[in-house]
């Protein structure tokens, strides 16, 4: 399964990378740190011309250059990209942010936890949703 993680937090990317590396199965994690790079990756522009499309995108809201809402909106308004599962994973606890993300088409919305065990549970849930969707397609 190809997973695209778009987050500019080194701590978050390190933790998620470690959790995914420990999982059984064939996972490929690509980490990008801003919204513009994410869209270049998804459209296979520039250095990403040979990028394999992800089955799952883990997307932060607060990103440089293009924020998570902008990225999510662009993905969900594109015929080729809109079927990709996008999970918002952010430090924002604002109900308004959750509402907007879900309205734009996010698969789910999670607030970043403070402990490693919670990260593991959330990542397991992301992967389960993406795997189930892949099997149903």
Taking domain 2-136, whether its CATH number is 3.40.50.2300 is answered by yes
Beta bridge partners of 87: 58, 108
Rounded to 5°, angle at Cα 102 from 71 and 115: 85
The confidence score (pLDDT) of residue 74 equals 95
The pLDDT averaged over each successive group of 10 residues in the chain (137 residues) is 92 89 82 95 93 92 92 95 91 88 92 88 79 60
> From CA 129, how far away is CA 85, in angstroms rounded?
8
Rounded to 5°, angle at Cα 28 from 22 and 29: 85
> What tokens does 107 get?
């698969």
The confidence score (pLDDT) of residue 137 equals 53
Taking every pair of Cα atoms in the chain, the longest distance, rounded to a whole number of angstroms, is 38
**How many of the other CB atoms lie within 10 Å of CB of 4?**
23
> From CA 85, how far away is CA 1, in angstroms rounded?
12
First to last CA, the chain: 14
The confidence score (pLDDT) of residue 135 equals 57
The confidence score (pLDDT) of residue 50 equals 92
> What tokens does 120 get?
């593991």
> From CA 7, how far away is CA 119, in angstroms rounded?
15
């Amino acid at each position: 399964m190809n997973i695209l993680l778009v987050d500019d937090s080194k701590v978050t990317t390190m933790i998620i990378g470690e959790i995914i590396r420990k999982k059984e199965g064939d996972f490929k994690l690509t980490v990008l740190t801003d919204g513009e790079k994410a869209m270049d990756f998804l459209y296979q522009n520039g250095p990403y011309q040979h990028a394999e499309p992800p089955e799952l995108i883990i997307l932060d809201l607060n990103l440089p250059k293009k924020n998570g809402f902008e990225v999510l909106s662009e993905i969900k308004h594109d015929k080729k990209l809109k079927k990709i599962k996008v999970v918002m994973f952010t430090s924002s606890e604002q109900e308004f942010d959750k509402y907007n993300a879900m309205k734009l088409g996010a698969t789910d919305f999670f607030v970043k936890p403070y402990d490693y065990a919670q990260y593991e549970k959330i990542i397991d849930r992301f992967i389960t949703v993406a795997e189930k969707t892949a099997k149903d397609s």
